[in-house]
Structure 1
Amino acid sequence: MHIQNVEFLISAVSPQQYPEPNLPEIALAGRSNVGKSSFINTMVNRKKIARTSSKPGKTQQLNYYQVEDWFYLVDVPGYGYAKVSKTEKAKWAQMLESYFSGRSNLTLALLIVDFRHDPSKDDQAMKAFFDHYNIPYFVIATKTDKVKKSQWNKHLSAIYKGLDLESIDQILPFSAETKEGREEAWEIIDAVLAGEYDE
């Protein structure tokens, strides 16, 4: 997939700031420092359209990117970062609940998890959230380049069981370093936007 035009639009904290819902929307959710920004940069083939940070918890708004005249990609605040205050966490939770429960053009959520580790309680809670609101989702397991191929089945199984998924095929191994899974991720997005995705 060759993307020519991608634009950072806005960092939004409330529905009043969201762009007009005239394009389908794909949301990225995952814990802080799981590689969401690197995923975005790899997918659109840009080095720095999404800012990566060595400091977890830096994304505190919904960051909107417009991909062509095709869809919005929305990077939501990372969760599970211990140094963020309870007040801040509560604000984030309220913002995410408002977004996920009320955004009419939200077409797909991508749950970004770290391939090296079992899903966290926060990952499990986010997946349950998608189930509750009937949001179609797919699991992207990042940092696969850090795991030996001989161990992949073991890690895939741990994510499948940890998130109580219906099928192991709901997990896509992905690496920003090697671009492993990039084309497959575009196939998923393409199918969703064409109305062909069957969860």
Structure 2
Amino acid sequence: MVITHLPRLHLSILSKPHPSLYTHLTTLFLTPNPLSTTTTLFFSPKSTLTTTPITHFSDPQESSFPTPQISLDKLFLPPETDVPCDTDTLSTRILKGSNIVLSKYARDAQVVQSDFVKSSVKTEDCPSDGLPEFALVGRSNVGKSSLLNSLVRRKKLALTSKKPGKTQCINHFRINDKWYLVDLPGYGYAAAPQEIRTDWAKFTKDYFLNRSTLVSVFLLIDASIPAKKIDLEYASWLGENQIPMTLIYTKCDKRKKKKNGGKRPEENVNDFQELIRGFFQTAPPWIMTSSVTNQGRDEILLHMAQLRNYWLKH
């Protein structure tokens, strides 16, 4: 089902997350607007910036899929990031296929070691070593496990399946002995009884609300198809609960032809961004990816690095 609108989020329905998460990342993703009753759920560019479309930095030797045009007012600017006066300088700091500007915290992004640690069905059973972590979540069969394998450059670290619902627990993978990637059960259709799917939703939401070491949720969206209501509702729930979020558009290598109204991935990304703006005052950070071509892999790791290093400092 394609959705055309969701209501804006207002302060009255926002609930405060775990104190540790709020302390570390509220300035990164929450910027109150004194002129409105709406809360900006992601860091907003300065009002002095223009809306002139700018280009993304890219390696001319590297093939890539088209990316949506982006204007300065739609960029994600991490805190403590100086904004250059000229757009040419700024464009060299924008991660390719994204709206994310690199900050001074974008370092130590390379993955040199990755290990599966454990599967849990309760938040309290998750690793207790205090390392920062990033959670991957999305509709069943959106490509979470494939993306995780791409990020660590291993084919079978996380099990993949064409059958939706393969991931059924909170799965922790330790990276470089310094931080975690967390693979969560997909939402929506899954080949499991309704009772089990309800349990997945319950412990996943409990994890989001109570996991003090969660730096950010990476919400995966299938860019090869039009926007789905369930994805927008999930993004809305994360926003209502002030949980930091980055949108990861998957399957961007699928170059569908325009038959019977079909759209290409970059067009679906544009459409989803417009829908997001219908209920968030500003759009969250986003990255276009493909686990087939590994497009977006380095960009995700750089983005994770700057979020992680900022979290550790604050």
TM-score of the pair, normalised by structure 1: 0.90
Note if contact 2:224-2:256 (Cα within 8 Å) is conserved in structure 1.
no
Counterpart CA distance in 1 for 2:247 and 2:275 is 12
Aligned-partner Cα distance in 2 for 1:46–1:82: 25
Choose which of 179, 183, 188 in structure 1 pairs with 2:298. Answer: 183
Kindly indicate whether structure 1 or structure 2 has the higher relative contact order, using CA contacts under 8 Å at least 6 residues apart.
2
SS in structure 1 of the partner of residue 135 of structure 2:
strand
* Corresponding residue of 1:144: 252
Correspondence 1:88 to 2:88: no
SS at match of 1:53: coil
Where does the alignment leave 5 or more consecutive residues of structure 2 unmatched?
1-108, 258-262
How many residues were matched structurally? 196
Question: Does 2:273 align with 1:160?
Answer: yes
Which structure has the larger Rg? 2
Residue 123 of structure 1: which of 231, 234, 242 is its match?
231
Indicate how the Cα distance of structure 1 residues 166 and 148 shifts in structure 2: closer, same or farther if over 3 A, else same.
farther
Distance in 2, matches of 1:120 and 1:2, equals 33
2:307 equivalent among 176, 192, 195:
192
Does residue 7 (structure 1) correspond to residue 115 (structure 2)? The answer is yes
CA distance in structure 2 between the aligned counterparts of 1:163 and 1:84, rounded to whole angstroms: 30
Q: What RMSD, in angstroms, separates the aligned Cα atoms of the two structures?
A: 2.1
Q: What SS does the corresponding residue of 1:146 show, helix, strand or coil?
A: coil
1:82 Cα deviation from its structure 2 partner: 5.3
Question: SS at 1:26's partner residue?
Answer: strand
Q: Using a 3 Å threshold, how does the CA distance of structure 1 residues 169 and 130 change in structure 2: closer, same or farther?
A: closer
**Match runs of 1:18-167 below 5 Å:** 18-81=126-189, 83-147=191-255, 151-164=264-277, 166=281
Q: Which runs of 5+ in 1 are unaligned?
A: none
Q: Distance in 1 between matches of 2:281 and 2:295?
A: 23
- Cα distance in 2 between the residues matched to 1:167 and 1:35: 26
Amino acid at match of 2:179: F
Counterpart contact for 2:142–2:250, Cα < 8 Å: yes
Equivalents in 1 of 2:133, 2:227: separation in Å? 25
Preserved contact between residue 30 and residue 78 of structure 1 (Cα < 8 Å):
yes
More divergent stretch after superposition (141-150 vs 51-60): 141-150
Segment drifting more, 37-46 vs 169-178:
169-178
Q: What whole-Å deviation, never above 9, does each CA across 1:130-159 have from its counterpart, x for those lacking one?
A: 112211111111111102699344222122
User: Do the aligned partners of 2:252 and 2:266 also contact (CA within 8 Å) in 1?
Assistant: no
The structure with the greater share of residues assigned to helix is: 1
Kept after mapping to 2: 8 A contact 1:156/1:171:
no
Q: Note if contact 2:142-2:221 (Cα within 8 Å) is conserved in structure 1.
A: yes
Query: In proportion to residue count, which structure has more strand?
Result: 1
Which amino acid in structure 2 is aligned with residue 9 of structure 1? Answer: V
1:55 alignment partner AA: K
Amino acid at match of 1:115: A
Question: Structure 1 stretch 164-173 or stretch 138-147: which is displaced more?
Answer: 164-173
From the superposition, tell whether residues 47 and 82 of structure 1 become closer, same or farther in structure 2 (CA, over 3 Å).
closer
Deviations 1:95-139 (A, max 9, x none): 112111101111110000111122322212221121122111111
Structure 2 letter corresponding to 1:176:
S
Deviations 1:65-96 (A, max 9, x none): 00012211111101111543221222111111
Report sequence identity in percent. Answer: 35
Q: Give how far 1:168 is off.
A: 5.8
Q: Distance in 1 between matches of 2:276 and 2:226?
A: 9
Question: TM-score under structure 2 normalisation?
Answer: 0.58
Distance 2:235 2:112 in 1: 32
Kept in 2, the 8 Å contact 1:118–1:162? The answer is no
* CA distance in structure 1 between the aligned counterparts of 2:281 and 2:178, rounded to whole angstroms: 29
SS at match of 2:310: coil
